[in-house]
Copies of this chain bind each other. A is one copy, B any other.
Amino acid sequence: MTASPEMAVGSQTLDFDSLVVLLEQVFQRNGTSAEVAAILARNCAGAERDGAHSHGVFRIPGYVSTLASGWVNGKAVPVVEDVASGFVRVDAGNGFAQPALAAARDLLVHKARSAGIAVLAIRNSHHFAALWPDVEPFANEGLVALSVVNSMTCVVPHGADRPLFGTNPIAFAAPRAGGEPLVFDLATSAIAHGDVQIAARKGERLPVGMGVDSLGQPTQDPKAILEGGALLPFGGHKGSALSMMVELLAAALTGGNFSFEFDWSNHQGAKTPWTGQLLIVIDPSKAAGQGFAERSEELVRQMHGVGLKRLPGDRRHQQRARSLEQGIELDGQVLAELRELAGG
């Protein structure tokens, strides 16, 4: 594959499958089982493919570090519990959340189609990835999906002095007749933690209202946020209320830890929040009226009609199409490091 003219000097392209294979090697060599490696590699390569750089290969050193610390069990085998006709639980066994979802997925879909709605409560899990890859596949099967995951104390509740909540994202996906599903994944913090890390690395300042420094004072310096500071919720008391809801759904309702409950101080290099995740999947074929996907397509038409240029998820879907055609562009140095981590 040849480099396109606008490509930065020193970058290289890989096709999606090659990146997945490389990342599988990285994960397996650094302590995961083959099963876990396959799931995490596909997830991480997918984020990179879709231009979601803060959750792409940028995360690999964090994965390696947290695995090396012994904080997370990369070989955990999730235990699925069939609790009720609409309720599935998974004990992720101190492993990653994505293999837990994968283990329960068929049962969850079966229940959602049968009962009309079903919930998956994952506990004892580490989620270190974007959330939209967890919901989008349901929409591709005609289902509506909502997921929340709590993370680690770094967000000051609106009206409080000190951080308590995690960045606590909410992701949603719904099918659509005329195109890719409608998908969003939003941190209930004013900015995602990964984006703060990327800004710090690039030496960029943040917009106003994203966070506070270690003294609780507003700051636009990403390093001041990362070094003892904290984030603010998006949208004031409303985003803060939603973040509280995420704690209740992802932790209290799963049996997982709240964002403030785990202590990784004995695990130097630990990076992954040890919490819980909730997914709700609804079968819209149970709804009255016209088919859901046609209805969501009508909403899309109307959104375009009032001047909306870009739908939630559009940018990712467009980048995905480009990446699948032209390959995934990676910085040469980053690629060399990945190959090193993969064992050469």
| Bound CA span A121–B286, Å | 10
- Contact residues of A between 236 and 271, Cβ < 8 Å to B: 236-239, 241-242, 244-245, 247-249, 251-256, 258, 260
Q: List A32-77 residues whose CB lies under 8 Å from chain B.
A: none
Name which residue of chain B comes closest to A252, CB basis. Answer: B295
Chain A interface residue count, Cβ-Cβ cutoff 8 angstroms: 76
Evaluate contact between A244 and B312: CB separation under 8 angstroms: yes
Cβ A238 vs Cβ B307 within 8 A: no
Given A115-B84, A248-B174, residue A159 in contact with residue B289 (CB < 8 A) = no
Q: Is the CB of A252 within 8 A of B292?
A: yes
- Tell me which residues from 279 to 304 in chain A have a Cβ below 8 Å from any Cβ of chain B: 280, 282-284, 286-290, 292, 295-296, 298-299, 302-303
Let me know if A286 and B87 touch, CB within 8 A: yes
A contact patch SS = mixed
The residues in A between 141 and 198 inclusive whose CB is less than 8 angstroms from any CB of B are 144, 146, 156-157, 159-164, 170, 172, 174, 182, 184, 186
Instruction: A38 to B325: give the CA distance in the assembly, Å.
Output: 62
Instruction: Report whether A117 and B114 are in contact in the complex, using a CB–CB cutoff of 8 Å.
Output: no
A216 to B, closest residue via Cβ: B307
Give chain B residues whose Cβ lies under 8 Å from the Cβ of A282. 119, 253
Contact A160 B308 (CB under 8 A): yes
| CB neighbors of B among A79-120 (8 A) | 81, 83-87, 89, 91, 114-119
Q: Is A123 an interface residue (CB 8 A)?
A: yes
The count of identical subunits is 2
If A238-B234, A244-B182 touch, whether A164 touches B118 (CB-CB below 8 Å) is no
Q: Are B87 and A288 closer than 8 Å at their CB atoms?
A: no
Interface presence of A309 (CB below 8 A) = yes
Interface residues of A in 176-229 (CB under 8 A from B): 182, 184, 186
Could you say which of B235, B252, B287 contacts A299, with CB atoms under 8 Å apart? B252
> In the bound complex, do residue B85 and residue A289 qualify as a contact, i.e. CB atoms below 8 Å apart?
no
Residue of B nearest to A290 (CB): B255
Residues of B near A123 (CB, < 8 A) are 288-289
Q: Is A9 an interface residue (CB 8 A)?
A: no
Shortest CB-to-CB span from A169 to chain B, Å, is: 10
Chain B nearest CB, measured from A324 CB (Å): 25
Assembly CA distance A87 to B287 (angstroms) = 9
Q: Is the CB–CB distance between B296 and A248 below 8 Å?
A: yes
Which residues of chain B are near A172, meaning CB under 8 Å?
A: 241, 245
The verdict on A287 contacting B89 (CB below 8 Å), with A164-B306, A302-B258 known, is yes
Is the Cβ of A115 less than 8 Å from the Cβ of B160?
no
7 smallest CB-CB distances across A and B, nearest first, come from: A87-B116, A235-B235, A255-B289, A255-B288, A161-B307, A86-B115, A252-B295
